[in-house]
C-alpha cells in the first residue's frame, strides 16, 4: 500500500492564481549566453590583444566572478551594465600583464571590447527549453503573471522587447525603472496588486534564493527555486524552497491546470 506521501507526490499540485517570474537564468539562458558572447568577443579581439581567445577566456571568467561576487559592485554593475562590462574587461586585461600597454590604451581597448560585447548581447540570448511554451500554457489558462527583474532599465527593457514578453504579463517590473527591486517588499506588492491576488495565492519562481524564494516566502508566497545549473541547494542553506525545479518547463506538468 503506498504511503500517503507517495500518494500526494503523484497528485498534481493546485495551480496558483498568480505566478511571479524572474527573467535572467530563469526564463532566459543569461549566464550561458554571456559566456558565449565573452568568448566571441575575445575571438574578435585576438589580434589586437595578441592572445588566442582560449587564453583570455578563463581570465575573463575569473574577472566576471570577481566583479559580481562583491555586493557593492553587483548593485552598481547591474544598474549600469556597460560600466560593469568595461570594469570586468579592464580587470581581465590587467591580469594578462600585456607588455608595453599604457593605462589609457587598456582603458580604450576595454571600452571598445565592451561595446562589441553589448552590440551582440541580447541577440545571443535564448529562452531556456520550454520556457516560452510554459508562459503560453499559463497565459492561455488565465493564470495571472508578473515579471520581476533586477537590473539596468535599458538593458532589461531591451530583453523584454526582444522576446516580446509584455504579452504574457500583467506587470513587467524592472528595478532600474522603478528605483527599487527584489528583495524589497514593495516590488512584490506591486506585482500582487497588478495580478489582483493575495500573497498566499501566488508563487514566485526564480534562480536567486534570496530574492525569489526567501523574500517572497516571508510575504506568504510559495517560493520555487530554479536550479538551472543543477548545483543543488547549498548544504548550509538557511533558505528552504517550497519546490525546486531545473527548468520552468517542468511547472505546467506538475500543476493541475484544470482547476485554475
Ligand atoms: Mg535570475
Read off the pLDDT of residues 160-213 as tens digits, 9 standing for 90 and up. 999 999 999 999 999 999 999 999 999 999 999 999 999 999 999 999 999 999
Average pLDDT over residues 206-223: 97
Confidence of residue 3 (pLDDT cuts 50, 70, 90): very low
**pLDDT tens string 48-86:** 999 999 999 999 999 999 999 999 999 999 889 999 999
Centre of ligand 1 to C-alpha 232, Å, is 16
Buried b (16+ CB within 10 A) or exposed e, 4-24: eeeeeeeeeeebbbbbbbbbb
Q: Which of 106, 119, 117 is nearest to 53 (CA)?
A: 117
Centre of ligand 1 to C-alpha 30, Å, is 8
pTM of the model: 0.87
* pLDDT value, residue 11: 64
* pLDDT value, residue 257: 62
Q: Cell for 208?
A: 536567486
Q: Cell for 222?
A: 510559495
Centre of ligand 1 to C-alpha 244, Å, is 14
Q: Is the torsion defined by CA of 231, 251, 194, 140 positive or negative? A: positive
Centre of ligand 1 to C-alpha 223, Å, is 14
CB 28 within 8 A of CB 135: no
**pLDDT tens string 109-128:** 999 999 999 999 999 999 99
Q: Kindly report the backbone phi and psi dihedral angles of residue 23, in degrees, each rounded to the nearest multiple of 5, phi listed first.
A: -100, -65
Amino acid at each position: 500500500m503506498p504511503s500517503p506521501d507517495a500518494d500526494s507526490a503523484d497528485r498534481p499540485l493546485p495551480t496558483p492564481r498568480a505566478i511571479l517570474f524572474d527573467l535572467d537564468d530563469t526564463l532566459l539562458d543569461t549566464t550561458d549566453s554571456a559566456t558565449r558572447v565573452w568568448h566571441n568577443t575575445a575571438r574578435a579581439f585576438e589580434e589586437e590583444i595578441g592572445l588566442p581567445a582560449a587564453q583570455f577566456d578563463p581570465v575573463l571568467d575569473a574577472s566576471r566572478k570577481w566583479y559580481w561576487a562583491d555586493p557593492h559592485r553587483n548593485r552598481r554593475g547591474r544598474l549600469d551594465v556597460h560600466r560593469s562590462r568595461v570594469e570586468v574587461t579592464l580587470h581581465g586585461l590587467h591580469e594578462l600583464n600585456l607588455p608595453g600597454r599604457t593605462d589609457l590604451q587598456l582603458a580604450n581597448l576595454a571600452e571598445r571590447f565592451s561595446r562589441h560585447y553589448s552590440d551582440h548581447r541580447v541577440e545571443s540570448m535564448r529562452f531556456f527549453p520550454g520556457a516560452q511554451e510554459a508562459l503560453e500554457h499559463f497565459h492561455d489558462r488565465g493564470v495571472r503573471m508578473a515579471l520581476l527583474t533586477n537590473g539596468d532599465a535599458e538593458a532589461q527593457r531591451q530583453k523584454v522587447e526582444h522576446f516580446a514578453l509584455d504579452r504574457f504579463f500583467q506587470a513587467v517590473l524592472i528595478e532600474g525603472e522603478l528605483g527599487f527591486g527584489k528583495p524589497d517588499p514593495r516590488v512584490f506588492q506591486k506585482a500582487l496588486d497588478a495580478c489582483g491576488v493575495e500573497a498566499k495565492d501566488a508563487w514566485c519562481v526564480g534562480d536567486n534564493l534570496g530574492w525569489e524564494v526567501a523574500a517572497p516566502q516571508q510575504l506568504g508566497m510559495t517560493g520555487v527555486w530554479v536550479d538551472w545549473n543543477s548545483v543543488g541547494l547549498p548544504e548550509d542553506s538557511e533558505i528552504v524552497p517550497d519546490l525546486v525545479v531545473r527548468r520552468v518547463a517542468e511547472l505546467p506538468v506538475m500543476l493541475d491546470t484544470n482547476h485554475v
